[in-house]
Amino acid sequence: MLLLAIESSCDDTSVAILKDGIPLSNVVSSQMVHENYGGVVPEMASREHQKNIVLVAQMALKQANAHKSQIDAIAFTRGPGLLGSLMVGISFAKGLSLGLNRPLIAVNHIEAHILSLLIDQRKPSFPFICLVVSGGHTMIVLVRDWNKMEVLGGTKDDAVGEAFDKCAKLLGLGYPGGKQIDDLAKTGNPAAFKFPVGQMPDYQFSYSGVKTSFLYFLKEKGESFIAENLNDVCASLQFALLKPLLAKTTQAMAEFNIKNLGVAGGVAANSALRNSLHELAKKKTWELYIPDFQYCTDNAAMIGRAAMFKWEMKDFVELNVSAEPRFKIGQ
């Protein structure tokens, strides 16, 4: 079975070709036009998708040594995401479906991130706890099966990835700056400064306040002090942002007596988070599963892997399907 998958939920245009669930290609075109704005500008994102999607699809087919006539089905991200960006991907998928007379498969973006853990050879068995961390989402999910997922809790405001990027912008590190903070923090002292992160009950998170606190800290200390202590500042900020993730993940693993832990989303590429979870897993005798770096950030291969389950169930959608920017797990 040959599947073409499309991901266009935010600012990455991606198309992948999968054969029986195994990626033959996974092309991602990242948009650089947002760098000057410190965040994604929705209208610009949709225009960039329109410019890139045909070329990205052609590259994916070429790398997979496949022709569009060989495609058996087309999968796409229905949501959650930016409405304009989603519409570009869905419109392209509909065009292919109509032109090739192939079925359409709609995929939930968050579920795809979670099921990206099943792409690599080492896969978690059900049930497992999944920590989903990205620029748009922060949540803990109990995964009983590919189509049985329960959100235990999530962020009440900003996602941890957004907090990383916005604080990086305040530091003048550019956008996206999460990786730059991670790199600078490697030689810094995480205990040098204290930054408050909202204390929330159960499995809820809050990251909106830390940005304000960080802004006041930078103004109080001044540019020269920050420049001299940049590594310590980044390490301390990163420690504060990751601390709730580690604590609530440990809580969920204990409450549900589960030994398999997965991590998905762009922040899963953060080295400090990875190292901390590896240490926790060793201490708690958990089995830890983290996707390959290329499957952490938004990509079409994860959409295709999730779609394969739906293909087997003949779970197709009609051509009048619409984008769902607030698409929730289990819908």
Residues of the chain with pLDDT under 70: 31-39, 331
**Domain contains 54:** yes
199 and 299 both lie in a single domain: no
152 and 84 both lie in a single domain: no
**Domain contains 323:** no
Answer whether 0.85 is exceeded by the pTM. yes
45 and 85 both lie in a single domain: yes
Alpha-carbon distance of 307 to 195, in angstroms, equals: 41
Cβ-Cβ contacts under 8 Å for 97 (sequence gap 6 or more): 74, 103, 104, 319
User: Is the Cβ–Cβ distance between 3 and 73 less than 8 Å?
Assistant: yes
Taking only the tens place, the pLDDT of each residue in 9-30 is 988 899 999 999 999 999 998 7
- Phi, psi angles (nearest 5°) of residue 284: -95, 0
Token pair 């973006």: residue: 109
**Domain contains 235:** yes
Residue 61 half-sphere exposure toward CB, CA atoms < 13 A: 14
Residue 88: domain span: 2-114+295-312
**Domain contains 179:** yes
User: Is the Cβ–Cβ distance between 7 and 60 less than 8 Å?
Assistant: no
139 and 152 both lie in a single domain: yes
201 and 256 both lie in a single domain: yes
157 and 96 both lie in a single domain: no
**Domain contains 327:** no
134 and 280 both lie in a single domain: yes
Q: Look at residue 133 in the predicted model and tell me its pLDDT.
A: 95
**Domain contains 328:** no
> Residue 250 has which token pair?
């440990």
CATH of the domain at 135: 3.30.420.40
**Domain contains 280:** yes
91 and 180 both lie in a single domain: no
7 and 54 both lie in a single domain: yes
Number of structural domains found in the chain: 2
Alpha-carbon distance of 37 to 266, in angstroms, equals: 20
How far, in Å, are 4, 50, 256 from residue 251 at the CA level? 39, 43, 9
83 and 64 both lie in a single domain: yes
Closest CA to 95 of 321, 324, 319: 319
**Domain contains 51:** yes
38 and 145 both lie in a single domain: no
61 and 129 both lie in a single domain: no
Taking only the tens place, the pLDDT of each residue in 142-175 is 999 999 999 999 999 999 999 998 899 899 987 7
